[in-house]
A and B are shown apart, each in its own frame.
Chain A
Amino acid sequence: MVSYNKNILRVIVIASYIIIITLIIYGISALLAYLNTGADRSTILHTEIQKIDQYLPKVTWAPLSNEGRPIDSENLNKIENNYLDAWYVKHIAYKTNTTAGIKDYYTDSARLNLFNFIELNAAQNISIESTTLEHHPSLEFFSEDGQLAVITDKDVIEYKRIFQNELLVLETTEISTYKIILLLEDGFWRIRHLVKESTENYDPIATAISTKNLNIQGINYYPQATPWDMFGEAFSADIITKDFKTIKDAGLNSVRIFIPYEDFGKADVDAEKLEKLKHTLDAAQANHLGVVVTLFDFYGDYSIIDWTLNMRHAETIVTALKDHKAIVAWDIKNEPNLDFKSRGKDMVVAWLKNMVQLVKSKDQNHPVTIGWSNTESASILKDKVDFVSFHYYEDLELLQDAIKTMKAEIPNKTIVLGEFGMSSYNGFWKPFGNSDEDQANYHKKAQEIIATNNLQYMSWTLYDFENIPKNVVGKLPWRKDAQKQFGFIDKNGAKKLAFKYISGQ
C-alpha cells in the first residue's frame, strides 16, 4: 500500500516536472521567436496602404479632356487613390490634431499650411471631425513627363463637426469646389497647391415619396432554423418560399427582413449574399408579398470616418434592388435610438439623416423609414423620412395614448407599428411569465387597437426560435429564453393560439 502511494507520488512529481519544464521551454522559445521577428520587408514598398477600405467617398470623374498628355487609367487610379488618401489623412489630422501621415500626401511647402492649422486648433482645444461624401473631379492637365497633374474637384460635399473643449459647437455640411496641383514625388501623388474656389452651405431637400398607397399588414421575418443569420451558409430559398406562403395564407401582405452590415461585407458587398437577398425578394414576389428591407443590422459605430464605407454599402444594396417589384420600403436602421446613450444622440441622428438622404438619392420610388424602438423617439427626423415607424413592447393599455401623442406630433405622415409582440415564455427563469393564451389575447387586443387607429403594422415574429445568437439580446439565459418564444408558430411547427390573430382578418 505504501509503495503504491509512493508510486503515485513519483508519477505526480515526474509529471509536474515535465509539465513545468515544457512550459518554461515553450515560454522561452515564444519569447525568442517574438524577438526574432522584424518589420515585414514588404512594408518597404507602399503596397499595403491602399489595400484596406477606410475611406470611400463617391468619386465621379468628368469625361477626360485634359490638356497635356493623355492619361491612362492606371495613372488616373493612382492619382485618385493618393488624392483621397490626402483627404483621409487630413480628416484624421484635424480630428486628433496630430501630423501623422501628412508628409506622405502633401509636399514640403503645402504641409506647412496644415501644420499651422493643427497648431492653431490644438492651442485652442478645437478638434474637427470631418468627412467628404462626394467628389466630382475632372482632370485639367497632365504633364508630358507624367509628374504633375491639375484637377478641379467640383461640388465636394464636406460634413464637419467642430468641437471646442470636447463640446460640439457646430455641425455643418458644405459644398465646395477645389483646384488642386499634384506632384508625383517618391511614388506618391502629393498635393502641392490646394485652392478652394467656392463654398456654400449644403442642405439638400430630398423629394418626399408619397405613402398614399402604402398598406403594410405584415410580420417581421426570420427563418426558424437561422434567426439573425438569414443569409448564411444554411440559406434555403425553399424554406423561405414555404414560409412566405404561410404568411400570405394568414392574410398578411408584407414582411420585414434585416441585412446585417458586417455579414454582408461592409463597404464591399458580398455578391453571393446579395444574390441570396434577391432570391428572398423573388420568393416574396412569387407569393405576392411586399418586403421592407432593414439595412445596417448589427452596426453600431456611426463615427464620421466610417460614413463613406456605410454609404457604399447602402448604395450597392439599394441600387441593386430598387427595381425589384417586391420592395415596399427601406428601413434605414433597426432601433438606432438604443445607441443614443453609447454613441451620442446627435451623432446617431446626423448619421441617419445622411443615410436617409443617400438612400433617397439612389431610389426615388420607394419610401424610407427608421425603425425607432419606442414612441418617444418616433418624431426624430420626421421631416426626413417618408413614413414613421416605431416598435412597441410595452403595456398595450398605454398604446392608445401613445399613438394619440404621436399623431399630434407627426400630423401628416403615415405611422407604422413596425414591431410588437409578446413572448409566451413561462418557465424556470420566469415562472409567472405569459402563457400561450396571454399571447393570443395580446395579439387580439393589438389588432383591435390597430383597427381603431387605422395603423399599418408588422408583428414580431413568425416562429419561436431554438437558438438566439448572443449578440441579439446578450447571453443571459432569461433574456434569451424569453426571446425564443415570440412566435406565432412554435418550435415544432404547430400554430400557437395567437396565430388566429396574426392579421386583422
Chain B
Amino acid sequence: MRLNLIYIQVIILLCLSSFAIKTDAVDNVSVTDIQLLTQKNTFQAGDTITLQFSTTESITPLMYCTNSYGSTLIKPSNKDNKLYYRLPQNLSHKIGSLYWKLLNDTTHINGEIKIIPKTQAVKMETYIGPPSIEAGGTDYTMLVVIPTDELDNPLPEHTSVTAKHQFLNEISIDSIQTKNLIAYKTINSKDESGRMLVSSESVNINSKEFTINVLPAIPKSFTISAEQPHNYADGNQQTVFSTSILKDKYGNIVSDGTFVTFSITTSEGTVLKTYGTTIKGIAQARMIHPDHQAQWHIKAYVAGMAESNTIDLNFQQVIKDFNVEFSKHNRTITVGPLQSFMNQMIPDGLQVKLFIYKNNELLEQLNKTSVDGYVRFNLKPNIVQNDSYDFIIKTAGIEQSFNTKTLW
C-alpha cells in the first residue's frame, strides 16, 4: 500500500514535470517560429509589396511599419500557417527606408526594406532664380531640378539631367547629375544684356520654359548737353539737359528708368537740382532760366555709379534799366515798362521787390510779379504812414534807390 502511494506520487510528479516541459516547449515555439520568407528587400515604388512569414499556428500578429512620412499597423492574412502582410499604398508608393516590426508576444522580429524610385521621370520639378541677373559674366542664376517619378518620388542619386539654355543665337546644353535629390546648374550671364531661356530634360521628359532677364550692368561715365531757345536770363524759357546714351562697360544700353540727377552750380554758389530717368539710355531734365545774368556749371550723376562731364552756360541780362514813377502822393509806385532783349514787354511773372527804409531801418518789404510789363505798388496809409522814406526797388538783378520821398 505504502509502495503504491509512492508509485502514485512518482507518476503524478512525472505527469506534472512533463506538463511543465510541454508548456515550456509551446512558449519556445511561439518565440522562434515566425520566420520571414520574403527574400527580396529592395522594391520599386508602386510595386505590390507583400511580406510573407511562416508560422506554425493560426495567429495573426499585427505588423508595425514606418516610412518617410508616417507609421501604421498592418493586419495579416493567415493562410496555411503562412502570414501575408500586404503593405498599403501609403507605404509601397513612397521611396526610402521602410522599417517593420512584428508585434507577436515576445520577440519583435524586425527588418528594413528599401523602396527605390521608378526609373522613368515624369515630371521635372524646376526652380530657377534669381529671375534677373546682370550682364558681364560674373553674375549668375541657378537652375535647380528635381526629377520625380509618377508617384512624386525624387529619382535616385546620379540621375542625368540635361540643362539647356538659349541666349541670343547660342544654345548651350550641359549635362548634370542629381545629388541630394536635386540637380543644379549655375548659368552665368554673357557680356550682352537680353533674355535667356532655360529648360531641363531627363530621360526624354522636358521641363517647361523659364525666362531670365539679363539686365545691363552699371553705366559708365557719360556726357551731357544742353539745348536752349536762347541764352537770355528772362526767367521764362527752359533749358533742356540731355545725357548721351548711357551704356554699361559692355556697351549695353542701361535699363529704362535709370535715374539721373543734374546738378547745377550757379555763379553765386547755389546748387540747383533737376532729375530725369532714361528712356533708351537717354535721360532728359529741364530747368527754367534765371531772371538775371548768371553762369551755370552743370554735371549729371547716376548716384553711386557714374557721372558726366561738366558743361557751362552763360545767361545774358535782358533788362538793362527800368523806369520808376511815383504818383498819388507818392503812394503809388509804378515800375516799368520792363522790356526784354528785343524791347518786347517781358512775359508776366518777373519778380519785383520793394524795400522801404526809415533811418536805414527796413520797415517793409513788398514782392510783386509783373503783369504786362508793369508792376504797381500801392502803399496804404495805415501801413506806411505819412512821412518820408527811402525806397529801393530790385528786379532782374539790378536795383534803383529813391531817398527821402515824402508820402502824404
Contacts and interface: CB of A to CB of B under 8 A. Distances in A.
27 contacts: A109-B152, A113-B94, A117-B72, A117-B90, A121-B72, A126-B73, A128-B71, A140-B180, A141-B182, A141-B184, A144-B140, A144-B141, A150-B181, A152-B180, A160-B66, A169-B62, A169-B103, A170-B108, A181-B154, A183-B127, A194-B68, A195-B68, A197-B96, A197-B97, A198-B97, A199-B112, A201-B110
Interface in B57-76: 62, 64, 66-73
Contact of A150 (B73, B152, B182): B182
Contacts of A176: 97, 99
A67 B178 CA distance: 13
A16 B88 CA distance: 72
A47 interface: no
Interface in B29-64: 62, 64
Contacts of A120: 72, 88, 90
A407 interface: no
B73 A94 contact: no
Interface residues of B, number: 41
A164 B62 contact: yes
B118 to A, nearest CB: 14
Contact of B72 (A109, A126, A181): A126
Classify the secondary structure of B's interface with A: strand
Contacts of B351: none
Nearest to B131: A145
Given A143-B144, A150-B181, A193-B181, 7 more contacts: A117-B90, A128-B71, A141-B182, A170-B101, A196-B97, A199-B97, A200-B112
B139 to A, nearest CB: 10
B129 interface: yes
A172 B71 CA distance: 11
A143 B127 contact: yes
Contacts of A192: 146
B90 to A, nearest CB: 5
Q: 3 closest pairs, A vs B, by CB?
A: A145-B129, A117-B70, A144-B142
B192 to A, nearest CB: 21
A178 interface: yes
B64 A172 contact: yes
Given A196-B96, A197-B97, A198-B97, A178 B68 contact: yes
A491 interface: no
A174 interface: yes
B247 to A, nearest CB: 27
A265 interface: no
Interface of B: 62, 64, 66-73, 88-90, 94-97, 99, 101, 103, 108, 110, 112, 127-131, 140-142, 144, 146, 152-154, 180-182, 184, 186
Contacts of B103: 169-170
A68 B184 contact: yes
B65 to A, nearest CB: 10
Max chain A Cβ within 10 angstroms of own Cβ: one of B96, B99, B131: B96
Given A145-B130, A147-B129, A174-B66, A68 B181 contact: no
B71 A179 contact: no
Contacts of B153: 193, 195
Given A120-B90, A181-B182, A196 B68 contact: yes
A192 B128 CA distance: 16
Nearest to B69: A113
Contacts of B62: 164, 169
Contacts of A318: none
A449 interface: no
Given A117-B90, A170-B64, A150 B180 contact: yes
A8 B249 CA distance: 101
A126 B146 CA distance: 34
B73 A164 contact: yes
Nearest to B99: A199
Interface string A105-128: 000010001101100110010101
Contacts of A199: 66, 97, 99, 112
Contacts of B142: 68, 143-145
Classify the secondary structure of A's interface with B: strand
A162 interface: yes
Nearest to B90: A116
Contacts of A113: 68-70, 90, 94
Given A170-B101, A198-B97, A193 B146 contact: yes
Contact of A162 (B73, B97, B99, B146): B73
A396 B59 CA distance: 50
Contacts of B99: 174, 176, 199-200
A455 interface: no
Given A148-B144, A193-B146, A193-B154, A114 B181 contact: no
Nearest to A69: B142
Interface string A155-175: 000001010100001101010
Contacts of A148: 127, 144, 182
A97 B182 CA distance: 32
Contacts of A109: 152
Contacts of A169: 62, 64, 73, 103
Given A120-B88, A143-B127, A169-B103, A198 B180 contact: no
B127 A144 contact: no
A128 B186 CA distance: 43
B154 to A, nearest CB: 5
Interface in A83-113: 90, 94, 109, 113
A435 B201 CA distance: 91
A114 B184 contact: no
A141 B143 CA distance: 13
Max chain B Cβ within 10 angstroms of own Cβ: one of A67, A68, A143, A201: A143
Contacts of A116: 89-90
Contacts of B182: 141, 148, 150, 181
A195 B101 contact: no
Contacts of B141: 144-145
Contacts of A174: 66, 99
A144 B130 contact: yes
B188 to A, nearest CB: 11
B72 A198 contact: no
Contacts of B110: 201
Nearest to A67: B184
Given A174-B99, A199-B112, A201-B110, A141 B180 contact: yes
Contacts of B108: 170
Contacts of A90: 70
A179 B180 contact: yes
Given A181-B181, A199-B97, A124 B186 contact: no
Contacts of A152: 180
Interface in A186-239: 192-201
Contacts of B88: 120
B334 to A, nearest CB: 65
Contacts of A68: 142, 184
B81 to A, nearest CB: 23
A18 B131 CA distance: 72
B97 A179 contact: no
Nearest to A117: B70
A21 to B, nearest CB: 61
B165 to A, nearest CB: 15
B187 to A, nearest CB: 10
A91 B95 CA distance: 21
B101 A172 contact: yes
Contacts of A201: 101, 110
B71 A196 contact: no
Contacts of A124: 72-73
A193 B62 CA distance: 29
